[in-house]
Amino acid sequence: MIVQINQSLKKLNTFGIDQKAERLIWAQSTDEVLDYIKHYDAPKLVLGGGSNILLTKNIEGDVLKIDIHGRKVVYEDDDVVHVKLGAGENWHEAVLWTLSRGWAGLENLSLIPGNCGTAPVQNIGAYGVELKDVFVSCEGINLKDKTHFNLALDDIKFGYRDSIFKGVWKNKAIITWVTLKLTKRNHNLKVSYGAIQNELTQAEILEPTPKEISNAIISIRESKLPDPAKLGNSGSFFKNPIVPAELAEKLVGQYPDLPCYDAADGKKIAAGWLIEKAGWKGHREGDAGVHKKQALVLVNYGKATGTQLLTLSQKIITDIQEKFEVLLEAEVNLL
């Protein structure tokens, strides 16, 4: 276990916010996580890839950085392969690794920032695929009992950007390994999104391979989502709200081009559209801003503080509620 004192977290969160940890502890195995928990109890913050947090203050106490690496095949037959990924593995690099072996399932989830261990927490999703579609199980440490856990698909209660780890298990578990099920043949490719179709048509690809779909997704994401290495951000800052059908109908009546999709308990509408319509796209307050190409993404032009970004997000929430009667909710964890 490596321990660093009074350490800046700037390089460990994709917003690039310069807040400090009183102690930053790097755990490189499940046993190190367990040892830490047995000695010190729960840390103030468990840090994965830092791609879904907004730090608004220094962390007075311990930050446990999960730095567990490894990619293992744990089951294989003629059709499928199960791969077990360390929680500290970079998500996109793991995606590329699976594709380079000819395995499919993660192509639509290419270029999502963050690490493998946090992927189940918010059930990462893009272009018609969510983590739950490939999920087998995950293991880790239960912070209360200080014991190992192993949870299967049905235990996790996946929903839209949601799981048990944001519900009853919130702050109660540290994921150390994730196992995913990929296909070796008879792939179930999802290319129905218009943007994917456009990319493939432009490249004159009629029957895409998983790798070609990944390339298309990378190109789409690069065209509208900022690269955190160049412009601090944490992807979609807000969730797409699920609203009652009556409200959705009223809004679509007023704004026929508002994107609106069926959801289990109402209609899901595009928060990016609402924010753009309200005039926030490209808006900037100091170094905190709304991305010029995707209004759902807040960006740090350099020296924004977490509080400045939080204030901006709150102004947007208030304005959207006033204009459309829709309450936006942050997707990002606020600290």
Partnered with residue 333 across adjacent β-strands are: 53
Q: Is 161 a catalytic residue?
A: yes
Stretch that binds ligand EPU, among 72-80, 136-144, 292-300, 322-330 (CB under 6 A): 292-300
If one asks whether residue 331 binds ligand EPU (CB under 6 A), the answer comes out as: yes
Stretch that binds ligand EPU, among 83-91, 143-151, 266-274, 309-317 (CB under 6 A): 266-274
| Residues 135 and 95: beta-carbon distance below 8 Å | no
If one asks whether residue 294 binds ligand EPU (CB under 6 A), the answer comes out as: yes
Q: Is 207 a catalytic residue?
A: no
Tokens encoding 228:
């955190």
Q: Is 331 a catalytic residue?
A: yes
If one asks whether residue 305 binds ligand EPU (CB under 6 A), the answer comes out as: no
If one asks whether residue 276 binds ligand EPU (CB under 6 A), the answer comes out as: yes
# of chain residues touching ligand EPU (CB under 6 A): 17
CA distances from 162 to 45, 148, 158, 319 (A): 19, 22, 6, 25
Complex with ligand EPU: residue 19 or 240, whichever CB lies closer: 240
Q: Considering 89, 161, 163, 221, which one is annotated as catalytic?
A: 161
CA distances from 321 to 17, 103, 290, 327, 328 (A): 28, 44, 17, 5, 8
Q: Considering 22, 139, 276, 331, which one is annotated as catalytic?
A: 331
Q: Which of 103, 127, 135, 324 binds ligand EPU (CB under 6 A)?
A: 127
If one asks whether residue 270 binds ligand EPU (CB under 6 A), the answer comes out as: yes
Subset of residues 220 to 239 that bind ligand EPU, contact rule: CB under 6 A: 225, 235-236, 239
Complex with ligand EPU: residue 59 or 271, whichever CB lies closer: 271
d(CA 260, CA 88): 36
If one asks whether residue 273 binds ligand EPU (CB under 6 A), the answer comes out as: yes
Q: Which residues contact 315 (CB under 8 A, 6 or more apart)?
A: none
Give the contact letters, 175-214, x = binds to ligand EPU (CB under 6 A), - = no: ----------------------------------------
Shortest Å, Cβ 273 to ligand EPU: 4
Q: Which of 17, 94, 109, 296 binds ligand EPU (CB under 6 A)?
A: 296
Residue with tokens 């199980």: 137
As annotated, the active-site residues are 161, 236, 331
Q: Which residues contact ligand EPU (rule: CB under 6 A)?
A: 126-127, 225, 235-236, 239-240, 259, 270, 272-273, 276, 281, 294-296, 331
